[in-house]
């Protein structure tokens, strides 16, 4: 019996001695794997702005509504305002408590938020307008304000712009025209400005601008035969100079204008549609009733403008809206 015990012990010792060494070698890879898993979890649960590792709720408007966070919410609460959305392309965290507060503020049951995650990440949908695309828009806009014979060579200072999805508007405000013209660019969407920055618009070509071929008296309407196009140095154009023929033809002179000179935009105006002393038809209408009579115009007026007129058969002046060169109108009950 003793011999058998010794044999069993001698057989078992090598196994006991070798087991720790072998087990320590096997455990090292599992420790490294645990570290890797922890790092992965830290990345996945990190800040909302750290990257795309965190699944986000995407919204397109500038407000975050309950329906985006909880599509199964009651229909009447889907559009409940929770919080402002972040800037396009950015993310923000919305806590369950914030949703409860919004529900409570609206008089709804705050326990409706109990099934939501403790925190949700919301991302504002966005589009990127490339600098080249923006340059094409600016070139097209600037071309409308350039004199004949001048074009845009290039634009310096362009940059890409991140905007909300949907339509956007580009506005360009030019300074005084020069070969290198300064301009301010404003990019907006949904009535809100998202980018505003200066650029330099480089222009090339020989400018041609309109001048009068004869003197024009004050209030006289300028005809096409009164205008000629002449070469003008671009760098010597005066401020607010009219640059195209169609800006002069059909306009009325505010003061006497001299032949051969560049015309300032303030020196002309749109002629009135009706003029003082003219006889027009006065129409009074209300719910299918139409009454007409003749009236005398007491002041000049443009289309849509309210002016004073004197009915020929009445004792008092009335206010009427200019409709055409021969008609003014009163909508009974709608006078200013």
pTM of the full structure: 0.64
148, 205 Cβ separation under 8 angstroms: no
| Helix/strand/coil for 281 | strand
- Alpha-carbon gap, residue 282 to 278, rounded angstroms: 12
Distance CA 281, CA 5 (A): 133
Q: Give the tokens for residue 239.
A: 């401020």
Please state, in angstroms and rounded to a whole number, the distance separating the CA atoms of residues 85 and 192.
14
Pairing of strands 268-269, 252-253: antiparallel
Distance CA 330, CA 336 (A): 10
Q: Any idea what DSSP says for residue 222? A: P
**Paired residues of 129 in beta bridges:** 161
The partner residues of 294 in beta bridges, in order of sequence, read 281
At 195 the pLDDT is 96
Under 8 Å between Cβ of 283 and 290:
yes
pLDDT tens for the 336 residues of the chain, in order: 444 444 443 434 434 343 444 444 444 444 444 433 333 333 333 344 444 445 899 999 999 999 999 999 999 999 999 999 999 999 999 999 999 999 999 999 999 999 999 999 999 999 999 999 999 999 999 999 999 999 999 999 999 999 999 999 999 999 999 999 999 999 999 889 999 999 999 999 999 999 999 999 998 999 999 999 999 998 888 888 999 999 999 999 999 999 998 899 999 998 989 999 999 999 998 877 888 999 999 999 999 999 999 999 877 899 999 999 999 999 876 555
Q: What is the per-residue DSSP string for 146-197?
A: SPEEEEEEEEES---EEE-SS--EEEEEE-S--SEEEEEEEEEETTEEEEEE
pLDDT in the model for residue 54: 58
pLDDT of residue 201: 98
Backbone Cα Rg of the chain? 39
Q: How many residues does the chain have?
A: 336
Q: Which tokens go with 147?
A: 């004199």
CA pair distance 128, 291, nearest whole angstrom: 58
Question: DSSP 3-state helix, strand, coil percentages of the chain (rounded to 5)?
Answer: 25, 35, 35
List, in order, residues 6 or more apart from 106 with CB less than 8 Å away. Answer: 77, 80
Asked if residue 136 lies in contact with residue 154, where contact means CB atoms within 8 angstroms, the answer is no
Q: DSSP characters for 310-327?
A: EETT-SS-EEEEEEETTE
CA dihedral 318, 322, 324, 330 (to 10 degrees): -50
CB atoms within 10 A of CB 110: 16
What is residue 91's predicted lDDT score, i.e. its pLDDT? 96
Contacts of 307 (CB under 8 A, 6+ apart): 274, 297, 298, 299, 300, 301, 319, 320, 321, 322, 328
Helix (H, G, I), strand (E, B) or coil at 57: strand
Q: What is the Cα 172 distance to its own chain's centre?
A: 13
How far is Cα 7 from Cα 16, in angstroms, rounded to an integer? 15
């Amino acid at each position: 019996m003793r011999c058998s015990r010794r044999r069993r012990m001698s057989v078992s010792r090598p196994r006991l001695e070798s087991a720790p060494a072998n087990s320590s070698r096997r455990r090292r890879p599992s420790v490294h794997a645990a570290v890797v898993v922890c790092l992965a979890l830290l990345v996945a649960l990190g800040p909302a702005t750290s990257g795309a590792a965190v699944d986000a709720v995407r919204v397109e408007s500038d407000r975050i509504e309950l329906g985006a966070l909880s599509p199964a919410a009651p229909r009447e609460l889907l559009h409940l305002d929770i919080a402002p959305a972040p800037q396009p392309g950015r993310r923000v965290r919305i806590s369950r408590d914030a949703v409860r507060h919004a529900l409570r503020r609206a008089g709804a049951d705050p326990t409706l938020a109990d099934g939501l995650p403790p925190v949700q990440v919301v991302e504002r949908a966005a589009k990127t307008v490339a600098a080249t695309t923006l340059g094409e828009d600016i070139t097209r806009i600037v071309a409308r304000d350039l004199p004949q014979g001048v074009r845009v060579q290039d634009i310096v200072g362009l940059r890409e712009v991140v905007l909300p999805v949907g339509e956007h508007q580009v506005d360009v405000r030019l300074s005084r025209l020069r070969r290198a013209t300064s301009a301010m660019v404003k990019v907006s969407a949904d009535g809100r400005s998202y980018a505003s920055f200066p650029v330099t618009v480089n222009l090339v070509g020989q400018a041609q601008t309109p001048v009068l071929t004869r003197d024009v008296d004050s209030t006289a309407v300028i005809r096409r035969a009164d205008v000629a196009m002449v070469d003008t140095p671009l760098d010597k154009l005066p401020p607010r100079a009219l640059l195209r023929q169609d800006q002069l033809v059909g306009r009325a002179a505010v003061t006497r204008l001299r032949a051969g000179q560049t015309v300032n935009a303030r020196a002309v105006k749109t002629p009135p549609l009706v003029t003082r002393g003219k006889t027009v038809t006065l129409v009074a209408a209300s719910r299918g009733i139409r009454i007409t009579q003749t009236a005398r115009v007491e002041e000049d007026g443009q289309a849509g403008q309210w002016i004073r007129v004197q009915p020929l058969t009445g004792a008092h002046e009335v206010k009427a809206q200019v409709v055409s060169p021969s008609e003014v109108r009163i909508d009974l009950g709608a006078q200013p």
